[in-house]
Amino acid sequence: MISAEVTIQAQFYDLDPMQVVWHGNYARYLEQARCALLDRIGYNYPEMAESGFMWPIVDMQLKYVRPIRFAQTVRVTATLVEYENRLRIDYRIRDAGSGEVLTKARTIQLAVAIGTEELAFESPAILIEKVKALL
The pLDDT-based confidence of 14 (bands split at 50, 70, 90) is very high
* Residue range 110-128, pLDDT digits in tens: 999 999 999 999 999 999 9
How many Cα atoms within 13 Å fall on the side-chain side of residue 126? 12
The pLDDT-based confidence of 18 (bands split at 50, 70, 90) is very high
Which are the contacts of 123, defined by CB distance < 8 A and separation ≥ 6?
Answer: 83, 84, 85, 86, 87, 111
How many structural domains compose the chain?
1
The proportion of the chain whose per-residue pLDDT surpasses 90, expressed as a percent, equals 99
**Could you say which DSSP state residue 120 is in?**
P
The per-residue b/e assignment along 79-106, b for 16 or more CB within 10 angstroms, e otherwise, is bbeebeebbbbbbbbbbeeeeeebbebb
pLDDT, residue 50, reads 96
Query: What's 31's domain CATH number?
Result: 3.10.129.10
The pLDDT-based confidence of 33 (bands split at 50, 70, 90) is very high
Contact 68, 93 (CB under 8 A): yes
pLDDT, residue 34, reads 98
pTM of structure: 0.95
Expressed as residue numbers, the domain containing 59 is: 3-134
CA-CA-CA-CA torsion sign (107, 4, 29, 45) = negative
SS3 of residue 135 by DSSP: coil
The pLDDT-based confidence of 89 (bands split at 50, 70, 90) is very high
